[in-house]
Structure 1
Amino acid sequence: MGYEAYLTLAIVMAVLIALIVSNIATDVILMSALAALVITGVLTPLEGLAGFSNPGVMTIATLYIVAAGLKETGAIQWIAGRLLGQPNGVRQGLAKVIMPTSVMSAFMNNTAVVAMFIPSIQEWSKRVNIPASKLLIPLSYAAILGGTCTLIGTSTNLVVDGLMQSTFDYKMGMFSLTWLGLPLLLVGGTFLYFFADRLLPDRQGTIEQLGNAREYSVDVIVDENGPLVGKTIEEAGLRNLSFGYLVEIHRGSRILSAVAPDTQLQAGDELVFIGAPECARELRQIHGLNPANGDVDKLKIASHERCLVEAVIGPEFVGLEQSIKDSRFRTRFQAAILSVSRNGQRITGKIGDIRLQVGDTLLLETGQDFVGQYRSRRDFLLVSAMNDSTPPAFSKAPFALYVLLGMVLLSASGLLSILEAAFLAAGAMLVTRCISVTKARRNIDLTVITVIAASFSLGEAMTKTGMAEQIAQWLMFGGMSPWVMLAIVYVLTTLFTEVITNNAAAILMFPIAVSIAQQLGVDHMPFVIAVMFAASASFIMPLGYQTNLMVMGPGGYQTSDFLKIGIPMSIIVSVTSIVLIPFIWAF
């Protein structure tokens, strides 16, 4: 091996360290690595940029439009409303969540599925008296497992298929992975059905009257010229709110706690309410109350054009190392933070001094276009918008589902490749106005596309310089059997995907897995499949997979909750995969 191999290894290690310990955006890290490989001559410009023309990457970009069409028409809510029903207990509730989620995730982006199911399940859980904290981690896990059942179920599958096409000129079929994905779904779903109720917390008891796992504090001020001055708490209609309750009144330098119903309101009183996010919407409808957060008044948005939005802080949020005030949040996003919830509990103190962490759930007041503008950004993992001015076009939901079905049938029958079928489906969504061109553009996550395409350069460099072959030799100490090496590849990929992105883990491990198969003198397919499934099987850490992070705030979860259910889940899925893979794809 020449110096290029060790330079490649150094760049790969630098990428891994940066992804794990730094807050630099993932696409910036990987594009920097691509640039370094091209500038140093390890790769030619064509080799470095080959990922941007890979069929798997282009398929992922096109499927974003298909998924957006399903989302804009409310197809998933349409299905959820017909399948959730009235369960008898937590286990039946889990079954009603797992089944539709896994089926939908098999055919569309699982992040979109989870994003749309979260508000539906929260509302449904209150109606059927099942804690949302018992259902939202299973929602994420079901989406992950469902995504492994088909080639288009997750971007990881398409990425590895793209690598297979460029390396071996081999295309997988739509249902090639179902032979393993379906057993994993059955095994994982059964585990969730019997054990999720025991292993997941019941966080609903903290505020029983709210029936909601998220808890916010909402501060308002009595308008000195408003109609509430001189009225009692009860007369002002503040005693029996549906989504919150009055905790205390700040009056000058005094704090009135345990406020009695006959307490009279005075001009300038600051009222502190605790409740669900809907509490803020409820208080906004009471004339004579103004937001206590000064940032709201500074928004350059007319009052009638504002709406309430819940957003979860993502791993690439620009102000992770700063206080909210120092990050210039309001100016940067044209949104005012009303309250912050962490691990299901409100964060007390002055909002401007709070240092945001990944997974924090914000209650924002902002413009009506905030969701459309930022849902494709990595700063936030948006959960729901309240008072959305553009409800889904439910009348087009059946047609959007027919488009999805047509895409699957055309691809599965072999009449068209997955990329060609996706092109037709995306075109149909646009022509029939299931989604507008503007919204289609917004929904293509260019950050994800850039990350995946740039990651290909690392895999190409490892193969070209011989470093993948060298790493394979280092791993194959003692002349281990193919089955043991398969287990090592699977476990290594699982560890990578818990600390870096799932797609980057798959791309880095792919050349190593192929080199191991070649040195063992066996077929590469079992090892490629192991990489594909292990990269998607992220159950242990909330940061390991985007859907896990999305449910963390709304479910009021802590990292320990994921460890408690995720470790046994990961072990069960790993053992099942390692045992079954060689029987389906022989060595």
Structure 2
Amino acid sequence: MSLDAYLTLLIFALTVIGLIVLQSRPVAVFGGTLIALIGCNLVTKTQLLTSIANPGLVTLILLVLCSLALEKTRLLRIIASKIIVNNYHSTWLRLFGITTLFSSILNNTAVVATLLSPIRNNPHHFASRLLLPLSYASILGGTLTLIGTSTNLIVNSMYIEASGRSLSFFSFTAVGAVLVLTCGVVMFFCTRFLPDIAQEKASSAGYFIDAKVLEGSELVGRSVEVNGLRHLESLFLVEVVRQGRLISPVAPTEVIQVNDRLIFCGEVTKLLQLGQFSGLEIFAEKNGSLDSNLTEVVVRQESIITGQTLKNIGFRALFDAAVVAIRRDGEQVSGKLGEVIIRAGDFLVLAVGEDYRTRTNISKNFLVLSGVEPESRINGWRAWLSIGGFISIIGLAAIGAVDLLEGLVLLLGSLLFTKCLTANELLRRFPIDIWLVVSSAILLSNALVNSGVVELLGEGIKQFNDLSYVFMALVLVYVVTWLMTELVTNNAAAALMFPIGYSVALGFGVDVLPFVMTVAFAASGSFISPYGYQTNLMVFNAGNYRLADFVKVGLPVSLVYGAVVLFMVPIVFPF
């Protein structure tokens, strides 16, 4: 092998190792891969530019941006209100059907985020018996169409780059439909393994709120009972932090002193009650309007604030927002809010400033769940334009009447012109992480070809030309991709395994589509790990699940999912 081949293989191996070791920072790993490929002169300038402007990748970016307008309408919220009924099985079937349907044409993270609140607050059923099926249904729904999940579009981007052809809108539908039916049945019978975990009545219940007693406050020198701190609606004084000492439980006779930190637990929506006490300052009160600009978010696994305290990270300067409250599943947070070490999956309520919406780092660090400022909602004819325009473009592209990329360009222009979306919103929600990951993966594929690694792999495989070996190779590609999905992330797994699957197919001299589709489906098959897929992480915390809950339900679903993919793909896409 040449020096370039050794260098390319080294970069590929280091990328895989980096993704496993630095699971929370895939963008940094792929950024390093990009720099290494260019620095070692393993790719050309033309290949760099074409990878950045890959038609499939641009289509993915446009789809994400156009769907933002749909998220701002009341469509999903109206539908969500119709899902929950008295009968559990009827509710489950409605939830599964609606989630799979909308996840086939919309970003499934947005679908799950919209349905989280009504499920958590429903009066009829334990949320823990519905949230895990919600996540799994969104994953399965994403396998139905080309645009159902970013994984499919990433694979299509790389397929376009390698072959010059694109997968059709319904390329995934035949296999995806069987997956929805079979895995749906397995999920339905596995509901007996779902735990019954009581939820707070409101989505903000159980939040940890930090308030400081200022000098001159009317509270100073009087007991908790006398101050009326034990008679607040849905807020409970659970701790007092005094000069580094924690007082818990708080006795009714405890006398309040200057600089005491009063730690309340309860509903964030009730925090304005604290305004009745003079000289009691909420942690976030100096930044943001507490009565109108509250936003609930979940900390992403790759967020730069994980493992840091709010005080040390400089939260306000980074995001133009202050943390009002924090909630962590299955665990009571203790101590001063500014000194709490933030973990992935923590729920935060933010009081946001004027520049919050223009910050480009919000979507990289948080999943925004609710409480978006009122002016960001769209109603009336703009809502109809957003919904009708999106559905029309997707429908016309599905039947081949218009090119999806061109249609999305026209739709995005219309949404901007009519102010359904703003330039600041597009800048803030622009999926730069997906762009970098896919561009780097395409470049890595080009480097594997340029250096002769693909050719060498093909030559080595040619000696195994029996059909049974081809199927064994397909199984191996599926298993490795699936393992990477559970260990790393779905998008990174698809991006890394595509060139391997494609090269293996060329080496056997068979059609590449079976291997391409296997990589796509395997990369979406994250059912066991709560960290392999964003929707899993969201419901993991919201439902107060344990890892064992994912294994009990996810393992049977994962096994059936894999069996269906390996059985159906060779039938729908013959070798």
Cross-structure match for 2:85 = 86
Distance 1:383 1:455, change over 3 A: same
Alignment check: 8 A CA contact 1:133 1:203 kept: yes
Between 1:270-279 and 1:12-21, the stretch displaced more is 270-279
| Residues 291-327 of structure 1: per-residue CA shift (max 9 Å, x gap) | 454xx3554x4x4676333322223322435444332
The answer on whether the counterparts of 1:411 and 1:417 sit within 8 Å (CA) in structure 2 is yes
Q: Is the 8 A contact 1:377 1:447 kept in 2?
A: no
Equivalent residues of 1:75, 1:394 under 8 A apart? no
**2:418 corresponds to 1:432:** yes
Q: Is the 8 A contact 2:360 2:427 kept in 1?
A: no
Residue type of the alignment partner of 2:311: K
What is aligned with 1:200? 194
Amino acid at match of 1:511: P
**Contact kept in structure 1, 2:132 and 2:536, CA below 8 Å:** yes
Question: Which residue does 1:550 correspond to in 2?
Answer: 538
- Out of 240, 246, 252, the position equivalent to 2:237 is 246
**Contact 1:97–1:139 (CA<8 Å) still a contact in 2?**
yes
**One-letter identity of the residue aligned with 1:15:** T
1:259 Cα deviation (Å)?
A: 4.8
2:561 equivalent to 1:569: no
Distance 1:507 1:255 in 2: 51
1:503 equivalenced with 2:491 (yes/no): yes
Q: CA deviation at 1:550?
A: 2.7
58-67 vs 414-423, which deviates more? Answer: 414-423
SS at match of 1:481: helix
Partner of 1:273: 264
Asked if structure 2 preserves the Cα contact closer than 8 Å seen for 1:246 and 1:259, the reply is no
Partner of 2:249: 257
1:146 aligns with 2:126: no
Question: Do structure 1's residue 370 and structure 2's residue 365 form an aligned pair?
Answer: no
Change in CA separation of 1:14 and 1:45 when aligned onto 2, cut-off 3 Å = same
Residue 34 of structure 2 aligns with which residue? 34
1:174 aligns with 169
Q: After the TM superposition, which of the residue ranges 461-470 and 528-537 deviates more from structure 2?
A: 461-470
1:559/1:308 Cα in 2 relative to 1: closer, same or farther (>3 Å)? farther
Deviations 1:140-190 (A, max 9, x none): 222111111111111221222222223223222212211111111122222
Change (3 A) 1:79 1:164: same
Name the residue aligned to 2:450: 464
2:524 is aligned with 1:536: yes
Aligned counterparts, 1:163-562, within 5 A? 163-196=158-191, 198-204=192-198, 210=201, 215-221=206-212, 233=225, 236=228, 238-239=230-231, 241-242=233-234, 244-248=235-239, 255=247, 257=249, 259=251, 268=258, 270-279=261-270, 281-284=271-274, 286-288=276-278, 290-291=280-281, 293=283, 296=284, 299=287, 301=288, 303=289, 307-367=293-353, 370=356, 373=359, 377-385=363-371, 388-390=373-375, 392-395=377-380, 396-468=382-454, 470=456, 480-562=468-550
Give identity over the alignment, percent: 33
Give the secondary-structure state (helix, strand or coil) at the position aligned to 1:542.
coil
For the residue of structure 1 that corresponds to 2:265, the secondary structure is: strand
Which amino acid in 2 is paired with 1:111?
Answer: T
Tell whether the 8 Å contact from 2:498 to 2:516 is kept in structure 1 after alignment: yes
Contact 2:24-2:302 at 8 Å conserved across structures: yes
Distance 1:17 1:120 in 2: 40
CA–CA distance in 2 between the matches of 1:218 and 1:477? 66
Alignment partners' CA distance in 1, 2:291 and 2:307: 31
Distance 1:545 1:237, change over 3 A: same
Matched-pair contact (CA < 8 Å) for 2:224–2:251:
no
CA distance in 2, matches of 1:577, 1:394: 42
The SS at the match of 2:196 is: coil
RMSD of aligned C-alpha atoms? 3.2
SS of alignment partner, residue 264 of structure 2: strand
Is this contact kept in 1: 2:85–2:124, CA < 8 A?
no
Tell me: CA distance 1:569–1:169, structure 2 relative to 1, closer, same or farther (3 Å). Answer: same
Match for residue 53 of structure 1? 53
One-letter amino acid of the structure 1 residue matched with residue 369 of structure 2: V
Contact conserved, 1:368 with 1:389, CA < 8 A, in 2? no
Structure 1 residues 211, 202: CA separation in 2 closer, same or farther (over 3 Å shift)?
A: farther
For 2:367, the aligned partner's letter is: L
Inter-partner Cα distance in structure 1 for 2:337 and 2:275: 23
Q: Map Cα deviations across residues 406-455 of structure 1 (whole Å, 9 max, x no partner).
A: 11221122121221222222233233332223323322212221221122
d(CA) in 1 for partners of 2:558, 2:246: 53
* Separation in structure 2 between the aligned mates of residue 367 and residue 400 of structure 1, nearest angstrom: 27
Structure 2 counterpart SS, 1:310: strand
| Cα distance in 1, alignment partners of residues 91 and 112 from structure 2 | 16
Deviations 1:214-263 (A, max 9, x none): 73332335667667776975984853624x43335568979473655xx6
- Aligned counterparts of 2:317 and 2:43: Cα–Cα separation in 1: 42
Query: Which residue identity is paired with 2:83?
Result: L
Listed one character per residue, the Cα deviations across residues 519-557 of structure 1 (whole Å, up to 9, x for unaligned) are 333222111110111112222222212222233332323
The match for 2:105 is: 107
The 3-state SS of whatever aligns with 2:499 is helix
Offset of 1:103 from its aligned partner? 1.2
How many Å apart are 1:474 and its aligned residue?
7.2
Alignment correspondent of 2:67: 67
Give the superposition deviation at 1:70: 0.2
- Matched position secondary structure for 1:173: coil
1:572 partner SS: helix
Task: Provide closer, same or farther for how the CA distance between residues 446 and 249 of structure 1 changes in structure 2, counting only shifts above 3 A.
Answer: closer
Supply the distance in 2 between the matched residues of 1:433 and 1:409 (Cα, whole angstroms).
23
Question: In the alignment, is the contact (CA less than 8 A) between 1:494 and 1:535 conserved in 2?
Answer: yes
Distance apart, 1:475 and its partner CA: 8.1
Q: Distance in 2 between matches of 1:121 and 1:374?
A: 30
Query: Structure 1 stretch 399-408 or stretch 309-318: which is displaced more?
Result: 309-318
1:474, 1:92 → 2: CA distance?
Answer: 54
Give yes or no for contact 1:84–1:96 (8 Å, CA) kept in 2.
Answer: yes
Structure-2 change in CA distance of 1:568 and 1:399 (3 Å)? same
For residues 31 and 6 of structure 1, what CA distance do their matches in structure 2 show?
20
User: Could you list the runs of 5+ residues in structure 2 that have no partner in the other structure?
Assistant: none
Distance 1:308 1:202, change over 3 A: farther
Distance 1:504 1:247, change over 3 A: closer
SS at the partner of 2:359?
A: helix
SS in 1 for 2:304: coil
